[in-house]
């Protein structure tokens, strides 16, 4: 039981997003990745919404499916989702917070569109619209439209637009959502934080910790995702109650160090500090004497209500859990398969050579998540050779080289150390995913 969901994506109508982001391509790539449920993204944009109504049908469960598919619970399912940027003044200070909104049907989505248009929101300018409505008031509007709206602070720790971000203006959910805080049932960790970092904040003890890709292109789908611990046939109601009641089986995580705001620093001055560095040197740039962009690690240290939680690796499955808080859903770190292939070929993940090998592997051995977590290494070696098989082994065991990102610069996670040979043939046991 359970299904894998990526509920923060984008369409081609969002800025800086691939023109290939349409429903047929999203369905194809969700299957390649091993995703069962996708967010539609951007449902407030009028042109994209028209495409959603043209290409998707409601299946009676609150989920949507591609027209032409038959049978409830078959194929890739969709949820109506959108990311909204709220930029406003609250208590005399400027605030900038991005939030995710999930709605159960087209009727509710259309009512939400009309409500925002009546408030002069420009919904056609970007799939990720900007509104001058506070996060708290936006949540209230959503709840008045449908009490089963899911309202999730997006990439909660990102400095510029996360609810906990160093530049967004808030130190807690309560500061932001005030009397409606209890209706925020979960947060999205974002690429620069992992669940363990969020476990250190007591305010989040009764919130679901969710991870999604925020994909701006098809290959980035599923780089982070969440395993929802209910039957997929329970549809939107099942998703709503799972997030509300923390029925999360686990998350698949991007290495947070690879996120572009993990450490504190200044890109233009080539300064990068860990939390230990800032304790010794402060958050003033030694080159330009301006304030550094405070990264996620530093921000977690500032807001944490408890020390680092002790972690353990669960047997051969590689699932990370908390020893002190064993009831919290575990997570597993994975480098995307295309990145593994690209490094093995000494090229970039976007190359045609990588895409061809990726399609060959997934075509024979099943989806990406299956390959990265379950398929025998010997089977991967038969199809793609020793180097890629070794890369998947190192991915499973966490034998990686990591250089954290900062101030808008993505970090680097490498499979092989500089000059490392290709002869290693270590095998690892067959792995399970949250089993």
The two tokens of residue 124 are 């056609």
CB 102 within 8 A of CB 81: yes
Q: Largest alpha-carbon pair distance within the chain?
A: 65
In a shared domain, residues 16 and 157:
yes
At 331-365, the pLDDT tens digits run 999 999 999 999 999 999 999 999 999 999 999 99
Beta-carbon contacts of residue 244 (< 8 Å; ≥ 6 apart): 185, 208
309 pLDDT higher than 90: no
- Stronger pLDDT, 68 or 146, i.e. the higher one: 146
Q: What is the mean pLDDT of the chain?
A: 92
- In angstroms, what CA-CA distances link 38 with 26, 41, 65, 192? 8, 9, 10, 21
- Mean pLDDT, range 378-389, rounded to an integer: 97
Between helix 46-55 and helix 106-118 the angle, nearest 10°, is 170
- Residue among 331, 281, 336 nearest 311 (CA): 331
350 vs 246: CA distance, rounded Å: 36
- Mean pLDDT, range 3-17, rounded to an integer: 97
248 pLDDT higher than 80: yes
Band the pLDDT of 424: cuts 50, 70, 90: very low
Q: What is the pLDDT of residue 253?
A: 95
Count other C-beta atoms under 10 Å from residue 14's C-beta: 21
Q: What is the pLDDT of residue 423?
A: 46
In a shared domain, residues 132 and 269:
no
Q: What is the pLDDT of residue 143?
A: 98
In a shared domain, residues 387 and 297:
no
The fraction of the chain above a pLDDT of 70, given in percent, is 93
12 pLDDT higher than 60: yes
Beta-carbon contacts of residue 45 (< 8 Å; ≥ 6 apart): 11, 13, 14, 123, 124, 126, 127, 129
Q: What is the pLDDT of residue 292?
A: 95
Q: What is the pLDDT of residue 73?
A: 44
At 16-47, the pLDDT tens digits run 999 999 999 999 999 999 999 999 999 999 99
Between helix 23-33 and helix 352-365 the angle, nearest 10°, is 60
Q: What is the pLDDT of residue 311?
A: 74
Beta-carbon contacts of residue 153 (< 8 Å; ≥ 6 apart): 97, 98, 99, 100, 135, 162, 163, 173, 176, 184, 187, 188
At 253-303, the pLDDT tens digits run 989 999 999 999 999 999 999 999 999 999 999 999 999 999 999 999 999
1 pLDDT higher than 80: no
- 299 in a structural domain: yes
- 327 in a structural domain: no
422 pLDDT higher than 70: no
In a shared domain, residues 114 and 191:
yes
- 420 in a structural domain: no
Flag the least confident range among 7-11, 155-159, 166-170.
166-170
In a shared domain, residues 363 and 239:
no
302 vs 298: CA distance, rounded Å: 6
In a shared domain, residues 80 and 159:
yes
Q: Which residues pair with 210 in a beta bridge?
A: 188
Question: Strands, E, within 63-149: which ranges?
Answer: 64-66, 77-90, 93-103, 130-131
In a shared domain, residues 208 and 80:
yes
Listed residues 303, 326, 360: the one ending a domain? 303
Q: What is the pLDDT of residue 368?
A: 98
- Residue among 200, 185, 119, 125 nearest 153 (CA): 185
Flag the least confident range among 144-158, 209-223, 300-314.
300-314
- Mean pLDDT, range 94-107, rounded to an integer: 97
Number of independent structural domains in the chain: 3
Beta-carbon contacts of residue 144 (< 8 Å; ≥ 6 apart): none
CB 309 within 8 A of CB 325: yes
Here the CATH number for the domain that contains residue 187 is 3.20.20.140
In a shared domain, residues 352 and 210:
no
CB 22 within 8 A of CB 269: no
169 pLDDT higher than 80: no
In a shared domain, residues 75 and 141:
yes
In a shared domain, residues 180 and 289:
no
In a shared domain, residues 11 and 144:
yes
Q: Which residue has the tokens 């994506």?
A: 9
- Stronger pLDDT, 43 or 314, i.e. the higher one: 43
Q: What are φ and ψ of residue 311, in 5° steps?
A: -115, 155
DSSP string, 155-179: STT-TTTSTT-TTTS-SSHHHHHGG
Q: What is the pLDDT of residue 313?
A: 65
Q: What is the pLDDT of residue 79?
A: 98
78 vs 80: CA distance, rounded Å: 7
Q: What is the pLDDT of residue 272?
A: 97
- 72 in a structural domain: yes
Q: What is the pLDDT of residue 435?
A: 55
Q: What is the pLDDT of residue 312?
A: 67
Beta-carbon contacts of residue 431 (< 8 Å; ≥ 6 apart): 316, 317, 318, 373, 374, 396
316 pLDDT higher than 80: no
- 430 in a structural domain: no
- 315 in a structural domain: no
- 423 in a structural domain: no
In a shared domain, residues 271 and 224:
no
What is the span of the domain harbouring residue 58? Answer: 3-258
Torsion angle of the four alpha carbons 60, 66, 70, 73, in this order, in degrees rounded to the nearest 10: -60
- 380 in a structural domain: yes
């Amino acid at each position: 039981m359970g299904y894998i969901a990526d509920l923060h994506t984008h369409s081609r109508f969002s800025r800086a997003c691939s023109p290939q982001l349409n429903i047929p391509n999203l369905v194809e790539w969700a299957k390649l990745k091993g995703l069962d449920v996708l967010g539609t993204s951007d449902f407030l944009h009028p042109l994209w919404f028209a495409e959603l109504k043209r290409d998707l049908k409601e299946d009676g469960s609150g989920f949507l499916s591609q027209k032409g598919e038959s049978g409830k619970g078959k194929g890739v399912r969709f949820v109506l989702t959108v990311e909204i940027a709220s930029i406003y003044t609250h208590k005399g200070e400027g605030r900038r917070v991005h939030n995710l909104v999930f709605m159960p049907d087209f009727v509710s989505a259309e009512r939400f569109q009309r409500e925002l248009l009546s408030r002069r929101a420009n919904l056609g300018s970007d799939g990720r619209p900007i509104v001058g409505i506070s996060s708290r008031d936006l949540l209230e509007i959503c709840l008045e439209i449908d009490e089963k709206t899911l309202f999730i602070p997006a990439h909660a720790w990102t400095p510029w637009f996360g609810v906990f971000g160093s530049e967004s203006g808030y130190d807690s959910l309560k500061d932001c959502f005030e009397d409606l805080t209890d209706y925020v049932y979960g947060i999205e960790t974002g690429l620069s934080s992992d669940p363990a970092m969020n476990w250190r904040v007591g305010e989040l003890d009764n919130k679901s910790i969710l991870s999604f890709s925020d994909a701006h292109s098809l290959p980035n789908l599923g780089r982070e995702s969440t395993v929802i611990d209910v039957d997929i046939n329970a549809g939107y109601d099942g998703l709503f109650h799972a997030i509300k009641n923390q029925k999360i089986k686990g998350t698949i995580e991007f290495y947070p160090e690879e996120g572009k705001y993990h450490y504190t620093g200044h890109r233009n001055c080539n300064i990068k500090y860990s939390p230990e560095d800032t304790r010794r040197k402060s958050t003033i740039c030694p080159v330009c004497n301006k304030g550094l962009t405070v990264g996620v690690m530093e921000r977690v240290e500032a807001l944490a209500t408890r020390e680092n939680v002790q972690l353990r690796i669960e047997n051969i499955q590689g699932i990370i859990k908390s020893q002190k808080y064993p009831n919290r859903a575990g997570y597993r770190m994975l480098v995307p398969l295309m990145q593994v292939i690209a490094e093995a070929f000494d090229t970039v993940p976007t190359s045609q050579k990588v895409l061809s090998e990726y399609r060959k592997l997934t075509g024979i051995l099943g989806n990406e998540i299956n390959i990265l977590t379950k398929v025998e290494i010997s089977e991967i070696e038969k199809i793609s050779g020793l180097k890629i098989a070794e890369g998947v082994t190192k991915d499973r065991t966490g034998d990686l080289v990591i250089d954290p990102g900062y101030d808008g610069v993505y970090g680097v996670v490498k499979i092989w150390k500089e000059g490392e040979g290709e002869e290693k043939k270590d095998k690892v046991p067959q792995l399970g995913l949250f089993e």
